[in-house]
Amino acid sequence: MKKLLLLIFLISSFTYSQTTTKDGIQISVKKSKLVDNVSVFGIRQLKITNDKLRKVMIKTKIKSNANNKTKLSAFSLLDTKNNIRYRLADYKGYRGIIGYPELIPRLKIELFDKKGKPLEFAPIFDKTEKDYFNVFDIKGYRNLEIPINFGTKKVPNLSIVYFGETRYEKYTAELFFPLLVENINLEYVLFYKDEKISNIKFSQNN
What does each C-alpha distance from 76 to 7, 79, 91, 130 come to in angstroms? 32, 10, 12, 16
Considering only CA atoms, which of 44, 40, 101, 75 is closest in space to residue 165?
75
SS3 content of the chain, % helix, strand, coil (to 5): 10, 40, 50
Which residues are within 8 A (CB) of 47 and not within 5 positions of it... i.e. 6 or more apart?
37, 38, 39
Give pLDDT, residue 120.
Answer: 86
Give pLDDT, residue 47.
Answer: 58
Report the distance separating Cα 81 and Cα 104, nearest Å.
Answer: 31
Per-residue pLDDT of the chain (206 residues; tens, 9 = 90+): 444 343 333 333 345 578 999 999 999 999 999 988 665 554 334 556 678 899 999 999 999 999 999 999 999 999 999 999 999 999 999 997 666 788 889 999 999 999 999 998 889 999 999 999 999 999 999 999 989 888 888 999 999 999 999 999 999 999 999 999 999 999 999 999 999 999 999 976 55
Give pLDDT, residue 49.
Answer: 64
The answer to whether 42 touches 91, Cβ cutoff 8 Å, is: no
Give pLDDT, residue 103.
Answer: 82
Give pLDDT, residue 12.
Answer: 38
Give pLDDT, residue 6.
Answer: 36
Which residues are within 8 A (CB) of 122 and not within 5 positions of it... i.e. 6 or more apart?
43, 107, 111, 150, 159
C-alpha radius of gyration, the chain, whole number: 18
Give pLDDT, residue 16.
Answer: 59
Report the distance separating Cα 87 and Cα 133, nearest Å.
Answer: 7
